[in-house]
Amino acid sequence: MRNGREVILLVEGNEDIRNALKALLENNHYEIIATGDGKQALDYLKENAYDVDLAVAALDIPVIGGIEMLKLMKLSQRMKDIPVVVMLPMNRESEQKDVMDNGAEDILFFPFDSRVVLNRVHNILISGRRPTCVNIMEELAARELNRCIDSLGICKCRQCRKDVITLSPTRLKPRYVSSAKGKLLSKLDQMSYDYVPEMLRALTESAEIVKKNPRHS
């Protein structure tokens, strides 16, 4: 959320469809970040994930496709909790199971009915406002690894990074906070200062384990 408005990341390669959806959602008081391909969307999320309340992405988007984008988001500590609605042509309904199995929150079939789009978006965003209990050390591990990965001397592949991020919080006492989606980053900033030194020790220990037993191919 930004300036009191919910933020939707819209990912659609077709400019006409992208502009039509952007106008529809903006006219209903959402803030829209519109991108034309999956790489642009992921690059934006790397820096702004905690501002984004919902992603709406076409299955067939350039550079990084919709399914691959979903998979990468679910592997990211920063992005994994962002609900994703995938847009599918009506004549490809058979692909619905694959999309849902890879972590989509919902599916929109086009051609679109404006009322269906708005109702679906509203319902998902309402459910996302409910407070959830989060171990803030998991979020801190992801953030601090990005800052110190060069000094740890580990492989920077996705699997090794994921293994270090997963292992590090298990070496520390969990610190749980209750936070509505979109507000976690501010809580992390407020609380993390005291925990950074011990997290750096945990990251160092975890990195040594991963270096000895790397799982990348």
The SS3 assignment for 108 reads strand
Virtual CA dihedral for 212, 213, 216, 217, nearest 10 degrees? Answer: 100
CATH class of 7-128: alpha beta
pTM value surpassing 0.95: no
Q: Which are the contacts of 97, defined by CB distance < 8 A and separation ≥ 6?
A: none
CA–CA dist 109, 168 (Å, integer)? 41
Return the sign of the alpha-carbon dihedral for residues 124, 182, 174, 132: negative
Please report how many Cα atoms fall inside a 13 Å half-sphere around the Cα of residue 4, on the Cβ side.
1
CB neighbours (10 Å) of residue 178?
10
Q: Tens place of pLDDT for every residue, the chain, 217 residues?
A: 777 789 999 999 999 999 999 999 999 999 999 999 999 999 999 999 989 999 999 999 999 999 999 999 999 988 998 999 999 887 887 888 889 989 898 888 888 888 889 988 988 888 765 455 567 787 788 878 888 999 999 998 888 988 998 899 899 888 776 555 444 544 555 566 678 899 999 999 999 999 998 987 5
Residues of each domain in the chain carrying CATH 3.40.50.2300 = 7-128
Contact 125, 182 (CB under 8 A): no
Length of the chain: 217
CA–CA dist 137, 141 (Å, integer)? 6
